[in-house]
Amino acid sequence: MPLLVVGSIALDSVHTPQAEHEDLLGGSAVYFSYAASFFTPVQLVGAVGEDWPAEHTELLRTRQIDTSGMQVVPGEATFRWRGRYEVDMNQRETLEVQLNVLDRFDPVLSESAQRCPFIFLANGAPRLQRRVLDQVRGSRLVVADTMDLWIRTTHDDLLELLKRIDGLVLNDSEAKLLTGEENLVRAGHQVRQMGPKFVVIKKGEHGAMFFSEYETYVLPAYPTEQVVDPTGAGDSFAGGMMGYLAEQERFDAESLKKAMAYGILAASFTVEDFSLNRLRQIDRNDLDLRLERYRQMLRFDGQ
Ligand code: AMP
């Protein structure tokens, strides 16, 4: 079933203790789309500038990603993000953000995008995320991501958005910031009480927690020795999760748990190289092989 994502399309510059790379293909909607494309056709909506390399669009098209909703805006430059990781790869510092084309981006959805049943509002200003929701018709599942910047600067807009979505995905530090609650279990349920039916708290190398009215659980990250660049892990997580749900055309408790597992596995591949380089080397079979190892890892009591 088609899946719509609206979010940033970026040129990222990433510094790690081992290497530095400039103008890498990135952005929340790009990582999301690529990870989701292992499961389902994706419609990507976003904006880039004149400086956007056409080969990046070609790469996305080689997957089942419909890029017709990507606007190339004349006279503008693409959104740029620069970040640095410490030796402890869980610590990231944003060095620079150039909004450029995103400053005035006003998403206008095509007829087919408006009718997508599964929708992901990737990291972006809540006002813009709500603009998307104003246009969709007949959606079955709407999930959003957010970040500390929006919690701090557009708090009321974000609270309005939370009342209109089914699920929210956010980081542990962001859940604490949004609720003022240090205990993550309490924070997860408090976010849920702000509107969404379920909340996923991402905890980096410690996996992800799930909260609904009936369930609270945690799934560990897939243990990988090779952590080269964690950029996009959260967006790939969301892509794997939503991609699987759209493929299954359902989001009952069992499907959501397996979707969380696929999200964790998609993220585990993303961190093994810069940009989309590792995801480009794999196919659905690699995700399924890793799922089997993950399942064995979690099995105990002979079950
Ligand atoms: P993640 O590592 O999953 O949290 O996401 C990293 C991606 O988010 C990078 O590719 C960035 O281009 C993108 N990003 C960073 N800051 C922003 C922002 N303020 N708005 C939208 N996307 C952003």
The CATH number of residue 8's host domain is: 3.40.1190.20
For the chain, the domain total comes to 1
Q: How far is CA 254 from CA 6, 250, 259, in A?
A: 27, 10, 9
- Residues 200 and 210 sit within 8 Å (Cβ to Cβ): yes
Residue whose C-alpha is closest to residue 275's, from 30, 65, 49: 30
CA of 233 to the centre of ligand 1 (A): 10
Quote the pLDDT of residue 167: 98
- For residue 4, count CB atoms less than 10 angstroms from its CB and return exposed for 0-12, middle for 13-18, buried for 19 or more: buried
Residue whose C-alpha is closest to residue 233's, from 279, 190, 175: 279
Strand order in the sheet with 118-121: 65-73, 42-49, 3-6, 118-121, 141-145, 167-171, 198-202, 208-211, 216-219
| Most informative mutation of 8, 229, 236 for ligand 1 (most atoms within 8 A of CB) | 8
Ligand 1 atom 18 nearest Cα: 124
DSSP β-bridge partners for residue 169: 145, 200
Q: What is the DSSP annotation of 191-255?
A: HHHTS-SEEEEE-GGG-EEEE-SS-EEEEPPP--S--S--TTHHHHHHHHHHHHHHHHT---HHH
pLDDT in tens, 92-132: 999 999 999 999 999 999 999 999 999 999 998 999 999 99
Quote the pLDDT of residue 281: 98
Ligand 1 atom 6 nearest Cα: 232
Quote the pLDDT of residue 90: 81
- Residues 76 and 99 sit within 8 Å (Cβ to Cβ): no
- Residues 141 and 250 sit within 8 Å (Cβ to Cβ): no
Ligand 1 atom 12 nearest Cα: 27
CA of 302 to the centre of ligand 1 (A): 41
Give the 3-state secondary structure of residue 275.
Answer: coil
Quote the pLDDT of residue 88: 87
Predicted TM-score (pTM) of this structure: 0.96
Quote the pLDDT of residue 259: 98
In terms of DSSP bridges, do strands 3-6 and 118-121 run parallel, antiparallel, or are they unpaired? parallel
Quote the pLDDT of residue 303: 63
Residue found under tokens 């929006």: 150
- Residues 238 and 122 sit within 8 Å (Cβ to Cβ): yes
Structural domain includes residue 224: yes
For residue 123, the ligand 1 atom closest to its alpha carbon is 21
CA of 226 to the centre of ligand 1 (A): 22
Q: 157 is in which domain, residue-wise?
A: 3-298
Ligand 1 atom 11 nearest Cα: 27
Ligand 1 atom 10 nearest Cα: 27
Find the residues whose C-beta lies inside 6 A of ligand 1.
8, 10, 12, 26-28, 81, 97, 123-124, 149, 231-235
For residue 236, the ligand 1 atom closest to its alpha carbon is 3
CA of 214 to the centre of ligand 1 (A): 31
Structural domain includes residue 303: no
Task: Give the Cα-Cα-Cα angle 15, 242, 147 (nearest 5 degrees).
Answer: 45
Amino acid code (one letter) for 116 = C
CA of 207 to the centre of ligand 1 (A): 19
Using CA atoms, how far apart are residues 108 and 173, in angstroms rounded to an integer? 32
For residue 171, the ligand 1 atom closest to its alpha carbon is 4
For 79, the enclosing helix (H) or strand (E) is strand 79-85
Structural domain includes residue 89: yes
Question: pLDDT below 50 — which residues of the chain?
Answer: none
